[in-house]
Amino acid sequence: MKKEVIINIKKVNIICIILFFTSFALLAIFQISLHTEYYFKPSWIALVYIILVIPAHEGLHAIGFMLLSKAPKVNIKFGLHKKYFMPYCHCSNFENTKFGYISSMLLPNIILTIITIAIIFFTSNIYWSLVSSFVVSSGAGDYYMAYLVLKYPNTERFIDHPTEPGFYVIE
């Protein structure tokens, strides 16, 4: 039996906002504690980094689907959801295990957050805490989907929804 699960974009947006401000406060405090002097100045490098994080995030989803879910490359598609103005990586017509699906969703968030937080160690520019907060909060939809998938038994399989942010559960 196939059960459709569509994520609530309003909930994801609320999670995103909470993650952004919470992570910024925590990361700024952490960064201030690391450096004796600090400042806040936007930089071109940070702007370019933010722009590159978006395709890198989706590319890491694809790598996760191929390596962790063992999905064939032909099943992986990229696009922009016009209704939500949201880039996505989609693994079509492939049944993911619970581990494979969750790990593929969270892989970009883990890797990009680690890289961005590592930058904080080397700069006293608090702007990078803001950039890190963007990276952390940009995974809100992934975190929420992983949370929803966790509610199901390990024996269930999951298929990406072909047109909406969500998935099907194969019971």
Helices 98-122 and 44-67 pack at an angle, to 10 degrees, of: 160
Percent residues over pLDDT 70 in the chain = 100
Dist. CA 140–CA 62, nearest whole Å: 18
| Mean pLDDT across 111-121 | 94
Q: CB under 8 Å to 143, separation ≥6 — which residues?
A: 15, 19, 106, 109
User: How far is the CA of 79 from the CAs of 7, 16, 36, 45, 89, in angstroms?
Assistant: 18, 21, 44, 26, 7
Classify residue 73 by its DSSP letter: G
Question: How much is the mean pLDDT over the chain?
Answer: 93
Q: How many residues does the chain have?
A: 171
Dist. CA 51–CA 128, nearest whole Å: 14
Q: Provide the pLDDT for residue 153.
A: 95
How does strand 76-81 pair with strand 86-91? antiparallel
Q: Provide the pLDDT for residue 80.
A: 86
| Mean pLDDT across 23-29 | 96
pLDDT band of residue 88 (cuts 50, 70, 90) is confident
Burial grade of 124 (CB within 10 A; 0-12, 13-18, 19 or more): middle
Classify residue 88 by its DSSP letter: E
Q: Show me where the domains of the chain are located.
A: 2-170
Q: Provide φ and ψ at 87, rounded to 5°.
A: -70, 155
